[in-house]
Amino acid sequence: MLKVIQANYVKDYQIKVVFNDGACRVFDFSSIISKYPVFKELGDLSKFRNYVLTDTLEWNDGEIDIAPEYLYENGMIATC
């Protein structure tokens, strides 16, 4: 099972994530914030930066989250 084990805010709406298989990706949330209503409130950068690391990234006590597989498949490959 793919899990996010580390996350670091980069800039704007980008977060660098490290997965339990050792892969690293930088995911830019700006496109999904405008595309999917569930992510709309994360357009407020102060809310966006207030994520919590579980097995993935969550906001608002788990009301908003994103599948680690989505981050993995759609993130830009990065060095760890």
In tens, the pLDDT along 5-50 reads: 999 999 999 999 999 999 999 999 999 999 999 999 999 999 999 9
User: Which residues sit opposite 53 in a β-bridge?
Assistant: 57
Domain 4-77 has CATH 3.40.50: no
Confidence (pLDDT) at 53 = 97
Question: Residue type for 48, please?
Answer: F
**Distance separating alpha carbons of residues 28 and 45, to the nearest angstrom:** 13
Q: Where are the domains of the chain?
A: 4-77
User: Residue 35: what are its φ and ψ, rounded to 5°?
Assistant: -90, -40
> With b meaning 16 or more CB within 10 Å and e meaning fewer, what string describes 45-78?
eeebeebeeeebbebeeeebbbebeebbeebeee
